[in-house]
A and B are shown apart, each in its own frame.
Chain A
Amino acid sequence: MLRKPIILCMALFPGIMMADDFYITSQASNQLSLFDSEAVEIKRSFEVASNPVMVVIDKSNHAIYVSHPEQGKISVVDLNTHELVSEIKTGGQPFSMVLDSQKPQMFVSDWSRNTLLVINTTSKQLVDLLAVGDSPAGVALDAHARKVFVANRESNSVMVLDADTPDLLATIETGERPYAVAFNPHKNHLYVTCVKDDSLTVIDTNNYQKIAELKPGKAPYGVAVSEDGKKFYVVNQNDNTLVEFDAESMKITNTIKTEKMPESVVLSADQQQAYVINWFSNSLSVIDLQQAKQVQSIPLKDGPRSIKAAQ
């Protein structure tokens, strides 16, 4: 009952969504950069604590969360002023983060303690530590069905945890060294990139069955799903490519050249472009999906790792 008015309110004031802004972490240079996709430029870059890896944007709390695995903490940065608000000292190596759209909480994989951290985003407190497999990396959420997905890199598995109770719902075997995960809510499919055996595991999240093992390219890393759930995109770090998959046939529909060692991919608000950050080249590839090619390259600060829309 509470959700409806909020959605209506957002629809009436689309300007406040800032759908054109993206944030990018540069791990080796301790920078967070704001990419304005309408102007197609980096609007500003600013220093954050050492070695930032992942970034998520919490609109409701006007906050940007940045993980620093090597510092055992998460920075909370003001979304408007870009000032540091506070630090959440988690210990361990906090890595990938996912916000819960239904509750003021965030799930974070802790690489070195083999746990999933639960952080209350109102109090900014670490409220729970849940045991998962070895070296958890990517995390995704089905907010509607209340399921959290965690890729256990060294256990070659994905675990499904209940988003509200500390219960383990399933453990599913994946390819070797699962890294990133993306959930497709239109199909109830989870895509898991497996870096070592160059595979992508597709899991049906209704029955927790592995339904396909795809071959996206060499060393698949970041993965993203289109808003309508019809396509998904994978970057291959050792091929320097972005591949587009049809979510229905699970076949590759396009292979697009990126720059060197692409790390992470997101889609533009209108779904017409893909933004790929290239770790080795320190660049952002602007890719026109219709033309299936890179149309622009924008220099980034040293060591780009993740990119997220500010919506």
Chain B
Amino acid sequence: MNKIIKKLSLASLGLIVMSSSVFAHGPTPQRVDEHIIIEADVAAVWQQVNAFDQLDKWHPAVESIQMQDDTTRVVKLKTGGEITESLDESDAERHYVGYRLLTENIEAMPVSFYTIGIEVEADAKGSKVSWSGRFYRADTGNFPPENLNDEAAVKAMTDYAKSGLEGLKASLEK
């Protein structure tokens, strides 16, 4: 029996070295929660938000979109680099679209995983659009370098949501 214990222990120790890049949920999930008021009716905003293949028409950080299939898009960023996102849900009644990161690219966006929801609601001035989600830092080990830590992930995801919402507003209020 001791032999078995030893073998298993050694096997597990061997894995320590190579496991740091495995995407994991041990680290603290982080939150993005941004919104904007747009002077356009819900139907018009929803039409724009719901076009999963046309993010490049309104997001200023996006160069182009290439669809891999009906629910998978490759987002080419203006800073270079591509991330792949997968559509989870498009709810026309709730005016809600949900998607997740399918293939990470920590050089383009320092996160290992995210789920994002964009929702359009009626507002006195037209529409309120909220962009919210949950994500994890790029380096999920316990000693991430500064460019791959929680702060870097929060900054990147918040900036991307904010510029997206502003771009959406600009595209609808022109």
A contacts with B, residue count (CB < 8 A): 38
CB atoms of A131 and B11 under 8 A apart: yes
Docked Cα-Cα span, A137 to B26, in Å, equals 9
Docked Cα-Cα span, A72 to B27, in Å, equals 11
Q: Does B15 contact A (CB under 8 A)?
A: yes
B124 neighbours in A (Cβ, 8 Å): none
A135-B24, A166-B4, A238-B115 known; A113 and B16 CB under 8 Å?
yes
B12 neighbours in A (Cβ, 8 Å): 113-115, 129-131
B24 neighbours in A (Cβ, 8 Å): 93, 111-112, 135, 153-154
CB atoms of A114 and B19 under 8 A apart: yes
Which partner residue on chain B sits nearest A112 by CB separation?
B19
Number of A-B residue pairs with CB-CB distance less than 8 Å in the complex they form: 98
Which partner residue on chain A sits nearest B142 by CB separation?
A70
User: How far apart are A260's CB and chain B's nearest CB, in angstroms?
Assistant: 8
For chain B residues 80-123, which have a beta carbon within 8 Å of chain A? Answer: 88-89, 98, 115, 117
A70-B26, A303-B28 known; A128 and B5 CB under 8 Å?
yes
For chain A residues 163-216, which have a beta carbon within 8 Å of chain B? Answer: 165-167, 179
For chain A residues 255-302, which have a beta carbon within 8 Å of chain B? Answer: 260-261, 279-280
A179 neighbours in B (Cβ, 8 Å): 25
A129-B8, A130-B8 known; A92 and B16 CB under 8 Å?
yes
B89 neighbours in A (Cβ, 8 Å): 218, 238
Q: Does A309 contact B (CB under 8 A)?
A: no
Docked Cα-Cα span, A223 to B147, in Å, equals 35
Docked Cα-Cα span, A115 to B22, in Å, equals 14
Docked Cα-Cα span, A128 to B6, in Å, equals 9
Which partner residue on chain B sits nearest A92 by CB separation?
B16
Q: Does A69 contact B (CB under 8 A)?
A: yes
B134 neighbours in A (Cβ, 8 Å): 237, 261, 279-280
Per-residue contact bits, chain B 25-56, to A (CB 8 Å; 1 contact, 0 not): 11111010100000000000000000000000
CB atoms of A93 and B28 under 8 A apart: no
Task: Sample 5 A-B pairs with CB under 8 A, ordered by A number.
Answer: A112-B141, A114-B19, A130-B12, A153-B24, A166-B1
Using a CB–CB distance below 8 Å, which chain B residues touch chain A?
Answer: 1, 4-5, 8-9, 11-13, 15-16, 19-20, 22-29, 31, 33, 88-89, 98, 115, 117, 132, 134, 140-142
* Supplied contacts A69-B142, A137-B25, 17 more A-B pairs, CB within 8 Å: A69-B26, A70-B26, A70-B27, A112-B16, A112-B24, A112-B140, A112-B142, A113-B12, A113-B19, A115-B12, A129-B13, A130-B12, A153-B24, A165-B4, A219-B88, A260-B132, A280-B33
